[in-house]
Structure 1
């Protein structure tokens, strides 16, 4: 079974339909392809797993059937239906869902070891440029300001797109966060989200957030977990480079889409662009398959330590290293790290050249648009 997860409107349904197109191109007839979108009112009556199996039985003819279940988390005990599909039917199963509750303990009881997860992120800058060709500097500031969701058009009326993002944000809070939290407290949830959005890339903790917004720490922890499962935020743990271990306390949070964040806070992309480009680099590293943490070496910080298989990279992100003070701040932590793994400074500087001591310096847009290396 293939499970496609990611934030709402990030492209899961499109990917699912691309799979369906490939099947048709390879000769699979429509009679053996079953697509059910549970956000459609035509399936409002399918509320539990028995009704779902009844719906599948209407089309199943005993032949190999490719079953596509879109936003299936709305169906109660849907995992039981999937277990029946795997046991009693000749079915190849594809599922999308907008929160990580899909992969809960209940699900693992039924399909443990029998699924592969594919996590979808909003558009990379390279994908954004393919969808919206144009001057890359102009497009990059649009990418920051209006975000990277495929449904957003950077050339459309900005207020219309702003309202679209606010509506989507509210839908995620209602359907993917509150619905999955017992005793929903909208005030605590809203204050927690606004704190996270305002403090992208700052070290914090659930207790620190609770103290700042004057809310119950346990509720804050629950909402942090739910917001991550709704793919609205991502947590980057701190990694002790010298001690080679993850630290138990303090972390950083990044957002899945800077456009949604800007819309919710009511700010322009240029008000805190350094935080936003750091956020963009974090997400890009995730897209490229890295496990990403915040590096710590003594009292110095490296923005990101990125690990993929045996590969390790250290990355600093800054607007510019053209002044002596900024150069020293960004490069100093690298001088302390004695291993031979690549160490890169990413900046918005137009003129770049490699730095002394084997350090690399790359223009951020060049790095975002380069061919990915596996």
Structure 2
């Protein structure tokens, strides 16, 4: 596989010798194993435990300190891959951390839900957590160089930025169809809250078709055939599996602001397009504006996460259809951004109501010509 340097690598290395358990969480197929194994191999003496391997899981079942010492041997680093599949992984990690000194612990997982359930209490005060996402704009610019990277923009909008899609471009559609199937959320299907897997498929399709629009939970419940509470629960689970994420409205009691609606975005355009079965070029599509918005929003979320940014982000809209695509708040100060695929709309005006009430420090229209201003 082509080696693409990941931004998260430096973040993890900064905590490498912290003495705490390092946990890297993200969707399947984004390169968690590749990244962590490269770090472990640089150290040399490490043990790899595969949570997807039934034999590895069986060896660790009911393992106490003595058995764990035997399993670890003289290894100085232990990497538990897809740790959510390992029974009582939280207690296993706690025993190693507390009783077997001099062993570095690295954990990967593809489900926030199960990892959190298993390790939060046993590892209180003993862990650092990181998220790994599909490849980012900066990572690919560093890899390809500026000119090639910019030429790839339309391809990114259609096929997304999963590592295997980037490194095997001829097989992009097949790769995405595989990932976008149940493989992407297979951990959720094993979770007790998912009693109707077909509802997930219907819900994902409905969300994919409403890309960039405000989501009406009541309407979704009618579409997929379950009650509103179930719809909200399933979307929350899809968030924990890193398939989608929600954007809240900004509402500070300005007259006529929307304050109950939500937007739902996909972490990767390719996954979204695989769900609806449409990989047509942009010139033959009706959803180019929505694809552009989803792409830029997802890239910004990845960038801010890697930077450990401490602010909050929203969209803003009024009942009179005044709207700001993306608003960031840091220490009470606001910045506002509009996303326009058509570069001729780069001078779009921002709502006077918003400007007067929120006094943003920055207002930018992000087009393909100015994307670096937002993502670098």
User: TM-score, normalised on structure 1?
Assistant: 0.80
- Per the alignment, residue 367 of structure 1 pairs with 373
Match of 2:270 in 1: 259
Q: Indicate whether 1:301 and 2:301 are aligned.
A: no
Deviation per residue, 1:81-124 (Å, 9 max, x gap): 11111221112211100010244345222112321110111111
Q: Cα deviation per residue 1:172-211 (whole Å; 9 max; x = unaligned)?
A: 3552221114352122111101011111221114333112
Equivalent position of 1:359 in the other structure: none
How many angstroms apart in 2 are the aligned matches of 1:322 and 1:336? 26
* Structure-2 separation of matches of 1:84 and 1:209: 45
1:278 Cα deviation after fit: 1.1
Within 5 A, what are the aligned runs for 1:324-335?
A: 327-328=348-349, 335=355
Q: Structure 1 stretches of 5 or more lacking a match?
A: 351-362
Q: Map residues 34-45 of structure 1 onto 2, 5 A cutoff.
A: 34-40=47-53, 43=56, 45=58
| Alignment partners' CA distance in 1, 2:352 and 2:65 | 59
Q: For 1:205-354, what aligned pairs fall within 5 Å after superposition?
A: 205-240=216-251, 249-267=260-278, 268=280, 270=282, 271=285, 272-289=287-304, 290=309, 291-296=312-317, 299=320, 300-308=322-330, 312-320=334-342, 322=344, 327-328=348-349, 335-348=355-368, 350=369
2:37 aligned residue (7, 11, 17): 17
Q: Which has the higher strand share?
A: 1
Hey, what's the Cα distance between the residues in 1 that align with 2:94 and 2:258? 38
Task: State the distance in 2 between where 1:60 and 1:154 align.
Answer: 37
Give the direction of change, closer, same or farther, for the CA distance of 1:309–1:55 in structure 2 (3 Å limit): farther
Q: Distance in 1 between matches of 2:73 and 2:209?
A: 50
Q: TM-score, normalised by structure 2?
A: 0.80
What does residue 151 of structure 1 align with?
Answer: 164
- What runs of 5+ residues in structure 2 fail to find an aligned partner? 1-20
Query: Does 1 or 2 have the higher relative contact order (CA < 8 Å, sep 6+)?
Result: 2
Aligned partners of 1:125 and 1:140 also within 8 Å = no
Q: How much is the aligned-residue C-alpha RMSD, in angstroms?
A: 3.1
Q: 1:83 to 1:100 in 2, by over 3 A?
A: same
Secondary structure, in 3 states, of the residue corresponding to 1:239?
coil
Return the alpha-carbon distance in structure 2 between the equivalents of residues 127 and 275 of structure 1. 23
Match of 1:125 in 2: 137
Once the two structures are overlaid, the 10-residue window that deviates more, 40-49 or 192-201, is 40-49
